[in-house]
Amino acid sequence: MAFVDLVVTVLGEPSVWVGVGEKGWKDRAFAACREKFVAYGYSKPVEEDCAVEMDFHVSDPRLYEIDLDNLLKPAIDGLGMAIFRSGNTGEQFDSEDFWIKRIVAQKLATDGNPRLEISVMPWEER
């Protein structure tokens, strides 16, 4: 199934992996991604290689207190459950996110509107 670029904004302060608020953040990321996925007309999970870009807009004090890699895990878990097939473990945020072949991510100081902007697109080998 070829898909068009999926662009999603998740509102709120992004949470880090194993941090306070991680579960709530994953739930929010899932809901925003799922809503957009359905709005784009998708009815079946993505089962093809894709690339993901993530822009984490975090509050100024957190910009130098949190690691970018720790922001990635909860965001990918929420996204994964929204667009990929569930994994085999039966765990809530286990999905077949192995379809992600490339990730580009950055953290930025927010303009007063903390959020995560996600773009998912078909993967092309460079």
pLDDT in tens, 31-67: 999 999 999 888 888 888 899 999 999 998 889 999 9
At residue 36, φ and ψ (nearest 5 deg) are -70, -40
Confidence label for 2 from pLDDT (cuts 50, 70 and 90):
low
More confident residue, 79 or 94: 79
CA pair distance 77, 58, nearest whole angstrom: 19
What distance, in Å, lies between the first and last C-alpha atoms of the chain?
21
Whole-structure pTM value: 0.88
Across the chain, mean pLDDT equals 88
CA pair distance 31, 69, nearest whole angstrom: 22
More confident residue, 77 or 89: 77
CA pair distance 73, 68, nearest whole angstrom: 10
Domains for the chain: give ranges and CATH numbers. Answer: 6-122 (3.30.1330.70)
